[in-house]
Amino acid sequence: MNSKRIPGTTYRLQLNEDFGFEQARRLVPYLKRLGITHIYASPIFKANPGSGHGYDVTDPNQINPELGGWDEFVKLMEVCKADGIGWVQDIVPNHMAYSMHNSMMMSVLEHGRASAYSHMFDIDWEHPDEELAGKVMAPFLGKKLEETVANEEVAMVADELGLGVKYYEQRFPLNAGSYSEVLHEAIHGEEPQQEALGSICVRLADIKEMRREEVEEAFEGVKQALFYAYSENKEVRALVDAAMDKYNKGGRLLDLLGKQYYVLTHWQEATRRINYRRFFYINGLICMAAEREEVFDRTHKLILDCVKHGYFDGLRVDHVDGLSRPGEYLKRLRDAAPEAYIVIEKIMEKDEPLMQSWPVEGTTGYDFGAMVDSVMCDNQKADAFDRFYKELAGEFGDYQRVLYDKKKEVLGTHMAGDAANLVRMLKGDEFAGEDDDELCEAAVSLAAACGIYRTYLGEGERRSFDVECVERAVEGACEYEQRLADVIRRLGDMLLKCHEQGSGSCEFALRFQQLSAPAMAKGFEDTLLYIYNRHIALNEVGGSPDQFGIPADEFQKHMAERVNIWPNAMNGTSTHDSKRGEDVRARLNVLSEMGEAWFENVRKWRVLNEGLKTSLDGQQCPDANDEYLIYQTMVGALPFEPSEQWDFRDRLKEYAVKALREAKVHTSWLAVNAEYEESVTGFIDGLFDEGSEFWGDFAEYTEKVSRYGVIKSLAGVVVKMTCPGVPDIYQGSELWNLSLVDPDNRRAVDYAMRERMFERLDTEYSLGNNYSLAELLAEPADGMVKMFVVHRLLEQRQQQKELYRTGTYIPLEIEGDDVGRLIAYARENDGRAVIVLVPRLCYGLTSLPERGIDADKVDGMQIVLPQSLRGDYRCLFSGRHEVVGDRVSAAKMFSEFPIAVLERR
């Protein structure tokens, strides 16, 4: 790969109709000055109207007009090229929007299997359910179809798209046979001179005799002719409207809908039966058959054109685990874009290796962010937090068992139809005599027991890691479901023998793996992370909340491996999928160090706020676990500025409702418990009483925690910028990112304010000026201190490209007492070097965090340097020069600022 295409640093932009190409174009000079080398953009292809994220693509070969369309896109690319800014594009090969705006999907609904696009989607046209055979399910109704039709919520319409049925904002097309039926109804008994409709009926009859490849074009002509006649001829309009009324109000619509190539059902019906694969269990996102070469070619045309034209330097592949054969897809993508920087959205569990045979630069950085969170957590306090959490919320139970139960619940409640589809593949000789329900439960149990998102059996060389994962899943599932042990073991054997037994077994393995990934995503990310509230700083995508932090030497080991295997993977600490912004998690990790002091405050607050709680059916609202989540969230995310606290209260209430529904304990998206939700939001309203004893105590405590959080946040910035990998800054995170889960983390960013702040930073805090680091640290509220650190490190990365791209990573020994509180390492390449020292645990290192690290707290701590690292250095933040020998004292490195990066040129 051309090394010039490897980004120095990326900046993630969430593009939407309110922040499109024009706004991004205006931002380019600011990003250039900040030190960014590449914009990393959310999907920019045509999507559902009003999409706030772009993952609901309707046409991958068209630039989204809501962002500005092709012309504005080209203008943006020209500005980026002129300023030397590259572009990494997020692409979505796994799924598309299932909506009226997706013309390919509408063709499928219109023509069924005869559609030129039917092979593109992962649809089971031979589903055993008689109603679904030869059709595709359309689970979008709020009631049963019969009730919806009776209430006239579904009605036939004639418009520029032809004849269809509308259900509020959704529209579904009618097939050609229905056109004939309706139009013959319209002209029944009329004089033969009604030529317009008569000629259309003749054309419809001709279509029946056409070859398959001719039908769609001819049918489009019929629809255009009908619309022209309908809109221009009052007599035709009256006849067609009268015919449609006979269906809409005459009780015939239900029969007509039964003749379509789709089956309209209640949206919840998809939890029980389904004949298309979805993104997780979102009915409106239908999965593609991306493993087919012709599907790849058709859906990647614009993407690859933009790569070849030099518009896209890199590609970020969304949800790679949804693909049937990810390795095969990635090889095809690499062959088509040999010079592109390619990273994948792959969420890995602890100690899970990325497939080294995949031709990619690495992941988008969930694993890196989780590693940073873990090392910044005081792993020595695990037992204390366990005891307090048990005291507060009761016995949680075995973590792995709870995770298993939640994954199994997701599969059984939301994806039972998907699981049933999977086990239908097993009804051959080996499983012919098995009870369907037991076989389905065994498969679900095995998927739920899988400790990672998915394995990659059936693709290339079999990894021992995958074999071990399946074996552990079999043992776990058998332990939990002993009555199903025999079937579970045979299913496990089938997975492991997929290379030997031919296509049937292999197809089962591929489908099973596509089911285990959403089970983990929804059971872990969107359920367990909202109920296991021991220490929510660790409750992050890619994290391991059951492991209470890691020591510094474990972090060093991972980074030393990373530099050799995945030196160009992304270093992400905040994303659009984060449960909490990076600075929320940093602040919360201060609590991991405080231990008993934190617990005493929570005990006190629970007593003070007893009067704000209500009771529902004998259940306290909020319960203790939810109350603890609220306190942690408030401490972690309370804005620095008091003027923002009322907006934060409203944001917190919105967040709490989402968290409660995701937890699925007292309420859920499927069964909303409005009383419990209102009790919790009312409780939150009561907390924000500035005159209360609680608020005074809470505000004072949070101010103290936030000061320590500043140091921990800055340490995290340094680690992200100097460790092996490509640092990614999520939009706006050059200042404090105190956001919560989406949609909170997708709020508009105030770039005008950031540009003004950067002008001041560039003027007052440039090297050579007489500036005060102490003043920056003492007044952290506006985030200037973070922007200073970000900019100085980005600037240095620009100047030392090869050092960070190909330099070695050298863990450094620290001598002295309590040295586990610090992390020290160096990067070295061709005589150039940086030495990094940051506090991972800062609470015990300073009594006044606004003044930095106390010299007496690090007195005697010495960083030991090998011969190759000795020489003349400059402090990156103060500009101070010093000669470094075989040791350098931590007190000296922290004398002006609580983080240190020394640069040898």
Residue 373 lies in a domain: no
Residue 732 lies in a domain: no
- 617 and 642 belong to one structural domain: yes
- 604 and 656 belong to one structural domain: yes
Stretch (H or E) spanning 167: strand 162-167
Residue 321 and residue 520 in contact, taking contact as beta carbons nearer than 8 Å: no
Query: Does pLDDT of 444 surpass 70?
Result: yes
814 φ, ψ (degrees, to nearest 5): -120, 125
Q: Which domain holds residue 448?
A: 397-524
Give helix 693-722 / helix 596-608 axis angle, nearest 10°.
140
pLDDT at position 193 is 44
Residue 111 lies in a domain: yes
pLDDT at position 191 is 57
The domain tally of the chain equals 4
pLDDT at position 574 is 98
- 135 and 271 belong to one structural domain: yes
- 77 and 151 belong to one structural domain: no
- 25 and 108 belong to one structural domain: no
**DSSP secondary structure, 75-126, as one string:** HHHHHHHHTT-EEEEEE--SEEE-STT-HHHHHHHHHGGGSTTGGGB-B-TT
pLDDT at position 461 is 77
- 298 and 173 belong to one structural domain: no
* Residue range 310-348, pLDDT digits in tens: 999 999 999 999 999 999 999 999 999 999 999 999 999
In angstroms, rounded to a whole number, what is the distance separating the alpha carbons of residues 658 and 130? 38
Residue 46 and residue 63 in contact, taking contact as beta carbons nearer than 8 Å: yes
pLDDT at position 556 is 98
**What token pair was written down for 898?**
């609580």
Confidence of residue 905 (pLDDT cuts 50, 70, 90): confident
- Helices (H) and strands (E) counted in the chain, each on its own, are 32, 29
pLDDT at position 3 is 60
What is the bridge-based pairing of β-strands 900-904 and 871-875?
antiparallel
Residue 828 lies in a domain: no
* Residue range 627-659, pLDDT digits in tens: 999 999 999 999 999 999 999 999 999 999 999
**DSSP secondary structure, 727-748, as one string:** EEEETTTTS----BSTTGGGSP
- 306 and 426 belong to one structural domain: no
261 φ, ψ (degrees, to nearest 5): -90, 15
**What token pair was written down for 890?**
């931590």
**What token pair was written down for 469?**
């994962």
List the single range of 192-201, 392-401, 585-594, 874-883 with lowest mean pLDDT.
192-201
pLDDT at position 505 is 72
* Residue range 445-454, pLDDT digits in tens: 999 999 999 9
Q: Give the residue-averaged pLDDT of 471-476.
A: 98
Confidence of residue 190 (pLDDT cuts 50, 70, 90): low
Q: Which residues contact 207 (CB under 8 A, 6 or more apart)?
A: 176, 215, 218, 219, 222
* Residue range 127-140, pLDDT digits in tens: 999 999 999 999 99
pLDDT at position 211 is 86
Distance (Å) of CA 155 to CA 138, 166, 267: 16, 5, 18
- 224 and 295 belong to one structural domain: no
Query: Does pLDDT of 500 surpass 90?
Result: no
- 632 and 690 belong to one structural domain: yes
Could you tell me the CATH number of the domain that includes residue 36? Answer: 3.20.20.80
- 180 and 262 belong to one structural domain: yes
Going 444 to 450 to 452 to 458, the CA torsion angle's sign is negative
Q: Give the residue-averaged pLDDT of 716-727.
A: 99
Single-letter residue type at 863:
I
Residue 379 lies in a domain: no
Q: Which residues contact 126 (CB under 8 A, 6 or more apart)?
A: 133, 134
Confidence of residue 498 (pLDDT cuts 50, 70, 90): confident
Going 698 to 700 to 703 to 704, the CA torsion angle's sign is negative
Query: Does pLDDT of 904 surpass 70?
Result: yes
In this prediction, what percent of the chain has a pLDDT beyond 90? 90
Q: Give the residue-averaged pLDDT of 804-811.
A: 97
Could you tell me the CATH number of the domain that includes residue 631? Answer: 1.10.10.470
Chosen domain end from 705, 737, 753? 705
In this prediction, what percent of the chain has a pLDDT beyond 70? 98
> What's this model's pTM, rounded to 2 decimal places?
0.96
Residues forming a β-bridge with 767: 769
880 or 505, greater pLDDT: 880
Q: Give the residue-averaged pLDDT of 83-106.
A: 98
In angstroms, rounded to a whole number, what is the distance separating the alpha carbons of residues 638 and 734? 18
Residue 665 lies in a domain: yes
Residue 307 and residue 340 in contact, taking contact as beta carbons nearer than 8 Å: yes
* Residue range 53-84, pLDDT digits in tens: 999 999 999 999 999 999 999 999 999 999 99
Single-letter residue type at 581:
G
Chosen domain end from 705, 723, 748? 705
Residue 549 lies in a domain: no
- 225 and 261 belong to one structural domain: yes
Distance (Å) of CA 499 to CA 50, 502, 627: 45, 7, 50
* Residue range 347-367, pLDDT digits in tens: 999 889 999 999 999 999 999
pLDDT at position 502 is 55
Residue 896 lies in a domain: no
Task: Give the count of alpha carbons within 13 A of 713, CB side only.
Answer: 33
- 169 and 300 belong to one structural domain: no
pLDDT at position 210 is 87
Q: Give the residue-averaged pLDDT of 533-548.
A: 97
Query: Does pLDDT of 405 surpass 80?
Result: yes
